[in-house]
Amino acid sequence: MQVDLRESWWIRDVEIPTRLVLAPMAGVSVQAFRRQGRRYGAGLVCSEMVSCAGLEHRNERTLGYLRVARDEHPLAIQIFGSEPTVMAEAAQMVVTAGADIVDINFGCPVRKVTKTGAGATLLDDPDRACAIVDAVAGAVDVPVSVKMRRGLEDGSRACLTVGPQLVAAGAATLTLHPRSARQMYTGEADHSLTAELVELVDVPVIASGDITSRGRAQAVLAATGAAAVMVGRAAQGNPWSLREIVDGAAAEPSREEVAAELIVFVRETVRELGERRAVGFLKKFYGWYLGRGRFPRPFKQELVQLESTEEVVTRLLAAAPRATELVERLEAELPDPADEILLDSMPISIYGGG
């Protein structure tokens, strides 16, 4: 049975306009990435992980100040930590910043997160996990979601035990990435677990993992009964993959389209992070955008060596001069930056992804 990916669905009282969710990815899901995802068909976009300790202490490990733009909604802001009270306070702060949903990370497999008792580790501590969800749900009026893995070890089925308990504690939706924390991103996502979880809970379940095409999205939705699919790595430097999944529009973008999207992404990232930080942050995106045979490999290597983003934009326009008109059109459609909500004291920390 074909699922209409353009059909809206609900997370409690928040309407999600399509059945495609753009994953929270550390070092990737900046505002420019989220806004682009919305333009290409993502019904819900998510911030990268925000450290509740960073919010509490305003420590120096920050990437900038939280920004929420008018065209990002509905938006989930993801927090991580291990102390219920601190997580509840962090949830209140991100709702003040403009989050429509507070997402809790119980999936991150990265050692510097798990060693603090946060991320995927909490799947082995269901009492604490439930206490966190209960505290967060009691602290905010918006829906609370939880993103989790199958468990810590290969073959674990912890998600099927913990998932219903998290719903009972107040989770309005669950996202399952059915790999173990040990697997990281290797092997295949076992969506038979997703199907089992759907049968166990009475809230929407989002299927995450290996969603790389419309065919794969349709197959996972049909096999699992999930409410939506979450796309992560497939969208890195490739927003056209989102459009293909939602609409079936499989046409490869022109060189001009690729250059225009990358130029807008570069400029928006500089506006968000500042030139100095953006120069290093953007390097990985050049390979993601310009790969897949879209541009010669030496061109990507040339961009990585440039010292300023202005030089990068100049070289892109030289390589695809007809992109200028597309850039102007895309930038004209962006909302005024003055519409953003800025919390000047709120740092964002990145420590890996889930």
Residue 251, judged by CB atoms within 10 A of its CB (0-12, 13-18, 19+), counts as: exposed
- Give the distance from CA 294 to its chain's centroid: 25
What are the helix (H) ranges across the chain?
A: 31-39, 52-57, 84-97, 111-114, 126-139, 158-169, 191-200, 214-224, 240-247, 255-273, 275-281, 283-290, 297-305, 309-319, 323-333
> Is residue 159 flagged as an active site residue?
no
End-to-end CA distance of the chain: 30
Handedness of CA 211, 212, 213, 216 (dihedral sign): negative
Cβ contact 326:256 at 8 Å: yes
149 DSSP β-pair partners: 177
Q: Are strands 50-51 and 75-80 parallel, antiparallel or unpaired?
A: parallel
In the chain, % helix, strand, coil (3-state, to 5) comes to 45, 15, 35
Nearest to 273 by CA among 77, 23, 99, 31: 31
Is the preceding peptide bond at 204 cis, omega within 30 degrees of 0? no
Q: Please report, as a single letter, which amino acid is at residue 5.
A: L
- Judge whether 2 and 218 are in contact, CB under 8 Å: yes
| Active-site residue, from 46, 52, 108, 130 | 108
Are 23 and 78 contacting, i.e. CB atoms less than 8 angstroms apart? Answer: no
Contact 343, 47 (CB under 8 A): no
Selection from 199, 178, 180 nearest residue 189 by Cα: 178
Give the catalytic positions in this structure.
108
